[in-house]
Structures are given as structure tokens and as C-alpha cells.
Amino acid sequence: MLFSKMLIPTLRETPQDTDIVSAKLMIRAGMIRKLMSGFYEFLPLGLKALRKVENIIREEMNKAGGQEIVLPLLFPKDLWLQTGRWNVYGKELFRLKDRKESEFCLAPTAEETITDLVRKEVKSYKQLPFMLYQFGTKFRDEIRPRFGVMRSREFLMKDAYSFHADEADLDVYYKQMYDVYINICKRCGFKFRSVEAASGAIGGSQSCEFMVLADTGEEEIAWCNCGYGANSEKAESLVAVSYQEEELFDMQEVLTPEVCAVSDVSKFLNLPYEKFIKTMVYLADGSPIVVLVRGDYDVNEIKLQSLLGANEVVLADEQTINFVTKSPKGFAGPVGLKDVKIIADISVIEIPNAVTGANKKKIHIKNVNYNRDYSADIVADIRKVKKGDICPKCKKENLKFSRGIEIGHIFKVGTKYSKSLNATYLDVNGKENLIVMGCYGIGVTRILAATIEQSHDDNGIIWPDNIAPFEVVIVPINYAHEQTKEVTNKIYRELSAKGLDVLIDDRDERAGIKFKDADLIGVPYRITIGEKGLLNNAVELKSRAVDKNAIKLLSPQDVINEILKIYNK
Ligand code: ATP
Ligand code: MG
């Protein structure tokens, strides 16, 4: 491939409206261009890298017995109504109508369509289990499209779905797919962690996310040296404070004139946060509930939502707070509350002589004790984990926190979709059963961005060997020079013949510019061919990743052998 013939519009300057290094570099390297917010064009170089990722995933899916298919990108409203997701998915779903006013959505994920396909085609247990997968464009009207193709509104996902006769069979396959995902991450060269996750809009009993470690990651991971790891949306912890035995006093109202936030009342009363009950009023699918967490914790709305099985949990407006607590915002507490469901975090009920709002303007109550002065309808883990919390697995070490980019997510979906769409099979005894499903997604476009986020320097991208759009770039200092051209073409022919992607920078540019571009687009190996070197039968070999300043002088044949050895060809 000749550089001069390829559309690789590299840029010297950093593009203006990009917010993350991978997006900047993808644009500067001429891999992508932005059409509009959240929509990107993939240029030849970008697509070549994307295909490399796709092929790694395809090979691993095929090894796991997957069969590749292609589903339409437009889905009928009716199927989405049957599973209830037409309403649940909300504004993230792109919706449209055809000329007959029939309604559709653009695929954000394909459980409905695949379950519909399978319910029509599977009749007997003899057809199970199997796995189907596709590389499909997905559309999600993200509230905040950002970070280039990392969080875009149109992206490429590999989505896979497995179908089983029972949970036990799904359990076995889920483990196998877990290993497949670990392999994909390794082959992409990631530093990563797999973590327990909340199942979100897809639903199901167990799910695991694959997180590429990067400071710019949008996700927070809580982990421990013992092997525990969870998305902090889902992470559990042991309550870190144990209280001294103390006498339980009678409740006592205290005037707290200008203060209502825990931080202020804590200062005012000179008591630590751990002595406070934070009382929050929420609306769960429109109904008010009261949620209690210890003063040093925050409510984890995702845990709360899944505990209640609610579609939506949001903080209540002031009017609802007034109605529930009969007092202005800022003075809520559980004592004396009636006709409202109270959900307490487990950290709350252990506090001796706690402080909380009195449901009266400017007043708090001291010495509040669980069971004696208030109770809760549900006591559960509904708090966000935080620094200092103890690992729930080894029960010894403090949890550590890292940031990560979620590149893949696998779910045990169970019968959620087969139930609503009535996808069944007949078992050995001729009895009808629901098909049990697993669901496995990986963001192909996001993997590219995550790779760059993890692997770059001031000069540009540093592709891992497996994903590089080109494995080798040959830089002839003067391609018009006959012997240079001959040697360039020989190396090109021999490496290409072994299946390597080789780029010849044949442009009539200064060597410095060609070197800068080679570094920017991140090609792992650069071979430089100059007239002077050829006088001694020598060309230069330089690696982008390893020992960046080291240049080896080799004969053309040795350089070919060396590269073939590196790539095991
Ligand atoms: P996130 O929490 O980042 O929004 P998600 O939980 O919505 O992700 P899934 O529905 O599990 O994502 O989709 C599977 C994979 O698709 C994700 O692991 C991610 O790699 C990719 N993905 C999801 N949303 C986007 C997006 N807006 N842009 C690019 N890739 C995405
Ligand atoms: Mg999402």
C-alpha cells in the first residue's frame, strides 16, 4: 500500500473540540472524522485497525462455537412493546416512523430481534444449546456523547446470544465466554480487570464487565488484592466503623438554626459523620420512599433501583419532601414517619445514639436508636462504597479504587426475554419450557479508543502488534532513487506475501515529516531506506514501542527475517 495513494489526512495540530487523548490522536492520525455529535466516519486507516479488532473477536467467537449472522438495524416497535423496553429504554432509543406511520427503533442492542428469530426456529431440546453473534452497528442517543468513538451515538458492537435448555447449561457456557473475553483482552494487549457488574437495562441475574484500566475511564472499579473486583455501581463492602459500647440515651431535640447538611450539622454538634443518619426522599417509579444511609455514605441509586425492581429511581422534588416529612427540605428523619416505605442501609441500624432530622424546621434529634425509635421496611446494602471500606470477600484489606473503560459486558439474562416473547422448546418429555439465554457484548469501536488511551506517547499512537493497521512502514528517503525503490519493493513484496500489512511512505516529503507521521499513526516497525546506507547494504529498523531511540542497521534480507521472526511468520 502506497501512502500517497491512501487517504491518511494526518494533522500536525490538535483538533479543537476533542476531550480525550485517544480521540485527538485518532483524528490527528487520519483514522476518523466527525460528522456531527456522536457520529464518526471511519477512514481507511481507522477501518483497517477496526477490522483487526473485529478479526480477533471473530476468531475467539468461532472458537467458542459461535455462528455469525447479520440482523437488521431497524426493529419493529411491537417486539419492543412485548418486552416492555419500548418504554423503559427512554430517550436513548432512536425512534422513527415509515411512510405508513408504523414505528421502529434503531438497534441499541438486539435481544428482542434475536429472541424473535429463535422462538420461530427452535422447537426441540435437540437444537440447544447454540450461540449466535454479529458485528452490528448500534445506535444510542447518549445523553452526553463524548470521547470520540468511546461514547458515540453510532458504534460497532459485537453482540452474541446463547440459548440453553436450563440455567445449569447457561452457567457452564457463561464461564466459557468469560474465558473468551479474557482472551480477547489479552490479545488486544490490554491491562484490564474483570469485575462484577450491575445488569442495567439488559437485565438478568449475573453479569461481568471487562474494564481496561485508564485514568480517563468513566467507570470506577473497586478491587482488592484477594481477587475481588466490582464496578463501584455494584460493589459491596463491610461497614468500616465499629462503635464503642455506649449507654443508649433518651431522644433529645436540638435546635440547628442555620444548618441542615450533614457536614454542617456535624460541625455544629461536634459529632463525627458516622453518628448521623442521612435521610433522603426518593421517587421510585413515581411513589415516594424514604432512604437512610449513614452520614459518611451516599445512596447508590443503582443498588436501590435493583433492590426495588424499579424502572426509575430519582430524588424527590421539594413538594414531595414537604408532603412526606411535613417539614421543609433539610430536616428529614425516620422518627415518626408514617405511610411511607423506609429503606435503611445496613450501616445505619448499628449507630448508637444517632443524630437525624426531626421533620421539623431547624431541628435535629439526638440519641436516635434503631428498633426503639424508628424501624425500616427493608434493611439492605444500598450505599456507595468508599475509600477505607473493607473488602467483602477477604474481609481484611481496604478496597482500592481505579478508573476503567468498560469494553465488554457479559450477562446471564436467563428467561427475561424468552418469557416476554414466549420463546420455548419441548424437552425430552414433550413438556414446554422457556429457553434460557446468555448475552455477550463487546464494543469494537470502543476497543480501538481504549487501546490508544492505554498506549500512546507525545508523538502519537503506539499500536500493539495485533491491532496495528499496518505492522510495518517502509520509509524510503527518496523513492525516486532506483536502488532505493528496488529494495523497498523487495522488502514490501516479501513481507506482504507472508500476510503482513506494509505501508510504503512513497511521498515526496522530507524524511522528518515521514518519521513524524509514522510515529503519529503508530506503526510498530519502521524500516528506513537511504542511498547512503545502501552503499553498505544496510537499512534501518526501528521499533515504535520498545527502546524508542534504538535503530538497528541490518541488510535488507536480515530486516525481512527479523520482522518475520517477530511476527512468527
Ligand atoms: P456504558 O455503561 O459505557 O454506557 P453499557 O452498559 O450501556 O455501557 P452495554 O449495553 O453493555 O454497554 O454494551 C456493550 C458494549 O458496547 C460496552 O461494553 C461498550 O464497549 C460498548 N458501548 C456501549 N455504549 C457505547 C457507546 N455509546 N459508544 C461506543 N461503545 C459503546
Ligand atoms: Mg450505556
Counting the structural domains of the chain, the total is: 3
Predicted confidence (pLDDT) per residue in 486-497, tens digit: 999 999 999 999
Ligand 1 atom closest to Cα of residue 153: 27
Whether residue 319 sits in one domain with residue 180: no
Answer yes or no: do 506 and 431 share one domain: no
What does the alpha-carbon distance between residue 254 and residue 102 come to, in Å, rounded to a whole number? 62
Contact assessment for residue 342 and residue 374, using Cβ atoms and an 8 Å cutoff = yes
C-alpha–C-alpha distance, residues 196 and 185, integer Å: 16
Model confidence pLDDT, tens digit, residues 288-343 = 999 999 999 999 999 999 899 898 899 999 999 999 999 999 899 999 999 999 99
Gap from CA of 451 to ligand 1 centroid (Å) = 16
Q: Report pLDDT for 482.
A: 96
* Residue 234 near ligand 1, beta carbon < 6 Å: no
88: CATH: 3.30.930.10
CA of 543 to the centre of ligand 1 (A): 33
Ligand 1 touching residue 544 (CB < 6 A): no
Query: Are residues 170 and 40 both part of a single domain?
Result: yes
For the ranges 257-261, 265-269, 477-481, 539-543, the lowest mean pLDDT is seen at 257-261
Q: Is 446 in the pocket of ligand 1 (CB under 6 A)?
A: yes
Q: Is the pLDDT of residue 538 over 80?
A: yes
The closest ligand to the CA of 109 turns out to be: 1
* Residue with CA nearest ligand 1 atom 8: 406
- Calpha distance 480→278 (Å, rounded): 76
The residue among 508, 490, 461 whose CA lies nearest residue 3 is: 508
Q: Which DSSP string do the residues of 469-500 spell out, in sequence order?
A: S-SEEEEES-TTSHHHHHHHHHHHHHHHHTT-
Residue 401 within any structural domain of the chain: no
For residues 527 and 473, the answer to whether their CB atoms sit within 8 Å is: yes
**In ligand 1, which atom is closest to the CA atom of 441?**
14
Q: Which ligand is nearest to the CA of 209?
A: 1
For the Cβ of 109 lying below 6 angstroms from any atom of ligand 1, the answer is yes
The better pLDDT of the pair 130, 548 is held by 130
Q: Each residue of 392-451: pLDDT tens digit?
A: 999 999 999 999 999 999 999 999 999 999 999 999 999 999 999 999 999 999 999 999
Based on DSSP, count helices (H) and strands (E) in the chain, helices before strands: 15, 31
User: How far, in Å, is the centroid of ligand 1 from the Cα of 55?
Assistant: 20
- The pLDDT assigned to 564 comes to 97
pLDDT digits (tens, 9 = 90+) for 247-291: 999 999 999 887 778 888 888 889 999 999 999 999 999 999 999
- What is the number of the ligand 1 atom nearest to the C-alpha of 218? 3
- What is the CATH number for 532? 3.40.50.800
Asked whether 557 and 496 are in contact (CB, 8 A), the reply is: no
Stretch 153-172: mean pLDDT, rounded?
Answer: 97
Q: 452 falls in which pLDDT band (50, 70, 90)?
A: very high
Whether residues 438 and 478 share a domain: the answer is no
pLDDT for 306 equals: 87
Cell representation of residue 569: 511468520
Q: What is the pLDDT of residue 199?
A: 61
The verdict on whether omega for the bond into residue 464 sits within 30 degrees of 0, i.e. cis, is: no
How do residues 93-118 score in pLDDT, each as one tens digit? 999 999 999 999 999 999 999 999 99
Residues 6+ apart with CB under 8 A from 31: 42, 43, 45, 46, 49, 448, 469, 521
Residues 70 and 33 both lie in one domain:
yes
- pLDDT for 319: 95
pLDDT for res 200: 58
Q: Are residues 143 and 279 in the same domain?
A: no
- The rounded Å distance from CA 54 to ligand 2 centre is 21
Q: What is the DSSP letter of 378?
A: E
**Residue 228 within a domain:** no
State residue 448's pLDDT score. 97
Cα(313)–Cα(119) distance, integer angstroms: 33
> How many Å lie between the centroid of ligand 2 and the Cα of residue 182?
21
- Is residue 301 a part of any domain in this protein? yes
**What pTM was computed for the model?**
0.87
Looking at the chain, the whole-number percentage of residues with pLDDT higher than 90 is 86
Is the domain of 424 the same as that of 279?
no
Structural domain that includes position 477: 470-566
The model's pLDDT over 332-376, given as tens digits with 9 standing for 90+, comes to 999 999 999 999 999 999 999 999 999 999 999 999 999 999 999
pLDDT score, position 518: 97
* Protein residue closest via CA to atom 23 of ligand 1: 443
Over the stretch 29-74, which tens digit does the pLDDT of each residue have?
999 999 999 999 999 999 999 999 999 999 999 999 999 999 999 9
Instruction: Give nearest CA residue, ligand 1 atom 19.
Output: 443
Q: CB 338: neighbour CB atoms within 10 A? A: 6
What pLDDT digit, counting tens, does each position of 396-409 carry? 999 999 999 999 99
Question: Are 46 and 168 part of one and the same domain?
Answer: yes
Task: Quick: pLDDT tens for 368-403.
Answer: 999 999 999 999 999 999 988 999 999 999 999 999
CA 177 to CA 207: how far, in whole Å? 12
* 428 and 280 belong to one structural domain: no
Q: Rounded to whole angstroms, how far apart are CA atoms 2 and 11?
A: 19
Q: What is the pLDDT of residues 192-231, one digit of tens each?
A: 999 988 665 555 678 899 999 999 999 999 999 998 889 8
pLDDT given at position 244: 84
